[in-house]
Amino acid sequence: MILEDRQASCNREVDIAVLLPEDEVDEVIYGFRQLNPLLLLPVPNPLENEGRRTTIVILRVFCRKWSSSIVALLTSALLFSFILVNVYDMKLTVDGSYENSCDVQFVESIPTGMNFSHGAIHRSTYDAWIDLFNSATRTIHIAAFYWNLNSSDYPTSDFGRRVYAQLVNAGRRGVDIRIAQDVSKGLSDNKDSKWLSKMGLAKVRTVDLKKLLGLGVLHSKVIIVDLEHAYVGSANMDWKSLSEVKELGLYIRNCPCIATDLFRIFNVYWYLGQERSQIPSKWPKSFETSFNLKSPMKMNFDGVETDVFLSSSPTPFNPKGREYDLEAIISTISLADRSICIAVMDYIPQTLYLDDNNRYWPDIDDAIRSAAFRGISVRLLVSNWTHSSSHQLAFLKSLIAINDGLPKIRGRKGSVQVVSVLFSNKVFCIRFLHRRFGKP
């Protein structure tokens, strides 16, 4: 039997009984609850099938205004086999009214003592996170590099404690919190997430890229609330990222399209955080996306028609349809018509942290040089602090050196300008430019 809801003209409820293996019930219920129009009632069932205890699940389907959601229930002789077709692949047909419901804002963290004559331009990361956790009613999904919201008595660390308190409050009022995090070896003991898990306020999985790939870290910073609102940016789950480090991110409100696609990326981390997990040779269809460089979401932000897609890396983590970060970055640079503005913590066209096995990696550097050659004005803002690589300056000088050899094309000559921002060490190891930002 197939139930299909298109353009949501119905307001009826339908109850369906499904028999499931007992050990699959939690994940099935969780997956369906992400769609929101469903109330699921598990009922213990004394029967066994092929040696596995089973549970009856009542699916109470209440139709809502989803563009297209399909649930397929296939019946066999003794066991209802439950299949969710594209459960996380809701390719919504976005009409004008839906587009206009999305609100996307830049948010940033400004280090203490860095003042602007006209005040802060954007809303703070702290405000956005407080708003997200306060507004959560059903789910919070967090991808984090490490946790350090509660570990200091330094005055501005209070920002981290307040954010953590709101996350705790969300868990206590019944919000389902799931965290996918890196091992964080040498950075943090992740006491914050451990405590949430111990108190039953969050489910936590740790993704070990060294075991999965031989090296690497989970470096994503993502918050998704109720599959409608989200934050994605440079800020870590660290009080310093809220008050002492220059960070930049996007705060996305009332935008199920983007939030759901971000959830697909989170779901990859969640899957790989299971014990003894391995990267699939082919990712299941439920992890795939329809949105990428060739097929972006067509959206409208502040009256501007905008193409939107989410990229990810490394490539083994990318199911079918997901754009690779490097290709997205190089494509963005190549599309520039007049100028490119880039803000980064480090600018080094080589691999790092591989001891004697580091290699030259010029992909992005080549794309920037090529852009300048064709007449584009390139500006780089690069952090300069205690832990900046000693090799960085040489590479930046090399990049600037091409200015003398750039041709004049169609009456316009390109250029490369570099500003290296020096931050003081007012607080040990934290005063630096951490954001990653590129604008053509």
Locate the domains of the chain by residue range. Answer: 11-68, 103-333, 336-439
Q: Which residues contact 222 (CB under 8 A, 6 or more apart)?
A: 141, 142, 143, 230, 231, 232, 262, 265, 266
Query: Residues 365, 419, 334, CA angle at the centre, nearest 5°?
Result: 35
**Position 386, amino acid:** T
pLDDT at 389: 84
Cα within 13 Å of Cα(250), Cβ side: 20
pLDDT at 89: 34
pLDDT at 420: 80
Give me the residues of the chain with pLDDT under 50, please.
1-15, 35-50, 58, 60-100, 424-425, 427-434, 436-437
Taking only the tens place, the pLDDT of each residue in 307-337 is 999 999 999 999 999 999 999 999 999 999 9
Other Cβ atoms within 10 Å of 379 Cβ, number: 15
Residue 11 tokens, joined = 């307001």
**How many helices (H) and strands (E) would you count in the chain?**
11, 26
pLDDT at 28: 59
Rounded distance, CA 438 to CA 440, Å?
Answer: 7
Q: Residue count of the chain, please give it.
A: 440
Rounded distance, CA 317 to CA 324, Å?
Answer: 10
Q: What is the DSSP letter of 31?
A: H
pLDDT at 180: 98
Q: What is the DSSP letter of 201?
A: S
pLDDT at 32: 57
Rounded distance, CA 248 to CA 232, Å?
Answer: 9
3-state secondary structure of 111: coil
Taking only the tens place, the pLDDT of each residue in 68-93 is 333 333 222 222 333 332 333 333 34
Other Cβ atoms within 10 Å of 196 Cβ, number: 22
CATH entry 3.30.870.10 includes domain 103-333: yes
Q: Are residues 293 and 303 in contact, defined by beta-carbon separation less than 8 angstroms?
A: no
Q: Are residues 415 and 373 in contact, defined by beta-carbon separation less than 8 angstroms?
A: no
N-to-C CA span, the chain: 49
Q: What is the DSSP letter of 252?
A: E
Residue 440 tokens, joined = 């053509």
pLDDT at 64: 39
Just list the catalytic residues: 219, 221, 226
pLDDT at 7: 30
Pairing of strands 139-144, 176-182: parallel
